[in-house]
């Protein structure tokens, strides 16, 4: 008699992967479900020459801005981005999830080999220690859920244009407008009205992406005109939105944002601990902070107009992208990058002093407490930005983009009036920059201009080689020589000496080469 184990059994059916054609190329059904999934991403290798950081950041601050012996002449990045996109059809519409993870290895210290940047004993070194042999890090860009017009998670702000800070450039440091290309935590709702007309409104968490700095000027300014950040905790989300028209001819969009600006306290730490030492940073709270009072919150914001023109007569696929922004107390929407907003400290030659220096402090607001002669009110910083690109295809394999931007930062008021932004800032600046009103004039306002070109070669589909050059000019408004007399000298920070410096506009040029394979 045959045993049960000897009886023939019916083979289990094999469930092969099925193509999902509902949402475009590359989707397939997750076996055993009605959910479609697409896997993708890219592998990218960047090298930047004469930059501040990878991805073609100009040398506008730090050791590269100083041009000292600690700066690296070139920096590199190798990155693989991995994306997962799922779609499920329901009676309420499509449920979508999307995530992107970046596996990255950068040059240690970015463009600085200074011990202050890479010494493991220093608090500032923690991130850089990831870039040791066998190291690297994983970062999260977008990760969100979409359902019935709503988006929940880390996604592009409702304020953003489709091109963010990339109208035609490779660099992640084209100033002049908004950029949340790596996502910001938000909740938003989009409505489609037909004929390419849509509107989106959202609430953004400003903590990471949409704050620059608030200066309590009683804490003083360092040698390059910066102070500790005296922003208070987040009091309210940014309220953002856009109205967009996208059709065959191109796109037009109007965006607006409301941003709450808040200062912490009137009395804060004024003397920072030296590099490598244990102590309070500038603008840190002390035992007197809570009883010292604080400035009242103010609401600022920004507006942006954006335009894309397609089908221009210069060639198939050519286009022009432009956007213009005006901001009050919302400077990140003008001095914007894919990371934090830079402040500027650039050095050059001089025929009348040890060297020349160009400075630009990027803030949302400044204030001076009444104890020191101010009115204790936040003085919101004003900003204006314009940027754009012309993108031209020479043939199916070669293309070139010409791009540029202009940004202007303004501190209102007059020197000597401590109730104004300019007056309070210049009073603090003069305390450790002798000669104000005698050998130099003070004005913290500044402009930044950029002009660049990038050419790409795509020998086969999804593989591109590119080279990009950018000229950046800092048009600062200080004038004369700080520290012209022997008793009136200042030090911008080690390794620069205490000496006389001429305030002067500065220029820098950076070059980036890139290889990218999309998959």
- 292's tokens: 């010292």
Q: Which of 130, 394, 232, 417 is nearest to 425 (CA)?
A: 417
Does domain 38-518 correspond to CATH entry 2.40.30.10? no
The domain limits of the chain are 38-518
In this prediction, residues 116-145 reach a mean pLDDT of: 74
Q: Examine the pLDDT at 456 and tell me if it is beyond 60.
A: yes
pTM: 0.92
Q: In this predicted model, what pLDDT tens digit does every residue of 206-223 receive, in sequence order? A: 998 899 999 999 999 999
Q: Which of 171, 385, 123 is nearest to 274 (CA)?
A: 123
pLDDT of residue 432: 86
Contact 368, 379 (CB under 8 A): no
Q: Give the rounded percent of residues in the chain with a pLDDT score beyond 70.
A: 92
Contact 508, 358 (CB under 8 A): no
In this prediction, residues 505-516 reach a mean pLDDT of: 98
pLDDT of residue 6: 57
Contact 151, 187 (CB under 8 A): yes
pLDDT of residue 126: 54
What is the band of 480 on the pLDDT scale with cuts at 50, 70, 90?
very high
Return the H-helix or E-strand segment holding 30: none
Q: In this predicted model, what pLDDT tens digit does every residue of 78-94 receive, in sequence order? A: 999 999 999 999 998 99
For residue 3, is the peptide bond before it cis, meaning its omega torsion is within 30 degrees of 0? no
Q: Which of 106-115, 334-343, 395-404, 499-508 has the lowest mean pLDDT?
A: 106-115
Q: DSSP for 136-195?
A: -EEEEEEEEEEETTEEEEEE--TT--TTTT-SS-S-S---SS---TT-EEEEEEEEEEET
What is the band of 125 on the pLDDT scale with cuts at 50, 70, 90?
very low
Q: In this predicted model, what pLDDT tens digit does every residue of 307-328 receive, in sequence order? A: 999 989 999 999 999 999 999 9
Q: Give the rounded percent of residues in the chain with a pLDDT score beyond 90.
A: 82
What is the band of 485 on the pLDDT scale with cuts at 50, 70, 90?
very low
């Amino acid at each position: 008699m045959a045993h049960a184990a000897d009886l023939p059994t019916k083979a289990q059916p094999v469930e092969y992967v099925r193509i999902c054609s509902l949402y475009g190329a590359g989707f397939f059904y997750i076996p055993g479900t009605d959910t479609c999934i697409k896997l993708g991403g890219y592998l990218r290798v960047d090298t930047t020459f004469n930059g501040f950081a990878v991805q073609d950041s100009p040398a506008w601050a730090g050791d590269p801005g100083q041009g000292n012996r600690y700066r690296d002449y070139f920096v590199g990045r190798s990155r693989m981005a991995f994306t997962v996109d799922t779609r499920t059809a329901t009676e309420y519409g499509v449920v979508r999830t999307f995530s992107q993870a970046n596996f990255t290895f950068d040059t240690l210290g970015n463009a600085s080999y200074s011990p202050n940047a890479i010494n493991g004993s220093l608090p500032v070194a923690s991130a850089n220690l990831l870039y040791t042999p066998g190291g690297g890090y994983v970062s999260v860009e977008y990760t969100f859920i979409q359902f019935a017009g709503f988006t929940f998670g880390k996604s592009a702000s409702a304020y953003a244009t489709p091109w963010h800070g990339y109208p035609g450039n490779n660099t992640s440091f084209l100033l002049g407008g908004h950029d949340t290309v790596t996502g910001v935590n938000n909740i938003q709702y989009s409505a489609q009205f037909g004929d390419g007309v849509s509107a989106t409104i959202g609430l953004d968490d400003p903590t990471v992406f949409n704050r620059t700095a608030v200066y309590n000027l009683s804490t003083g300014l360092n040698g390059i005109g910066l102070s500790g950040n005296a922003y208070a905790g987040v009091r309210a989300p940014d309220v953002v939105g856009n109205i967009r028209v996208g059709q065959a001819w191109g796109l037009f969009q109007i965006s607006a944002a409301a941003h709450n600006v808040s200062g912490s306290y009137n009395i804060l730490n004024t003397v920072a601990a030296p590099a490598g030492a244990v102590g309070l940073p500038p603008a840190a709270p002390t035992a007197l902070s809570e009883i010292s009072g604080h400035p009242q919150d103010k609401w600022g914001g920004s507006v942006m107009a954006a335009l894309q023109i397609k089908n221009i007569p210069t060639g198939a696929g050519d286009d022009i992208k432009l956007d213009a922004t005006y901001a009050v107390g919302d400077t990140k929407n003008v001095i914007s990058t894919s990371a934090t907003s830079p402040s500027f400290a650039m050095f050059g030659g001089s025929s009348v002093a040890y060297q020349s220096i160009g400075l630009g402090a990027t803030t949302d607001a400044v204030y001076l407490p009444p104890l020191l002669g101010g009115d204790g009110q936040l003085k919101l910083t004003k900003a204006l930005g314009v940027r754009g690109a012309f993108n031209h295809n020479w043939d199916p394999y070669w293309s070139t983009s010409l791009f540029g931007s202009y940004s202007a930062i303004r501190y209102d008021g007059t020197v000597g009036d401590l109730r104004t932004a300019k007056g309070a800032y210049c009073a603090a600046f003069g305390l450790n920059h002798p000669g104000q009103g005698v050998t130099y004039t003070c004005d913290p306002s500044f402009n930044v201009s950029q002009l660049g070109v990038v050419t790409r070669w795509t020998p086969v589909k999804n593989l591109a080689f590119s080279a990009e050059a950018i000229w950046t000019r800092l048009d600062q408004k200080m004038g004369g020589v700080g520290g012209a007399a022997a008793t009136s000298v200042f030090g911008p920070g080690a390794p620069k000496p205490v000496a006389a410096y001429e305030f002067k506009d500065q220029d820098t040029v950076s070059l980036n080469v890139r290889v990218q394979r999309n998959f």
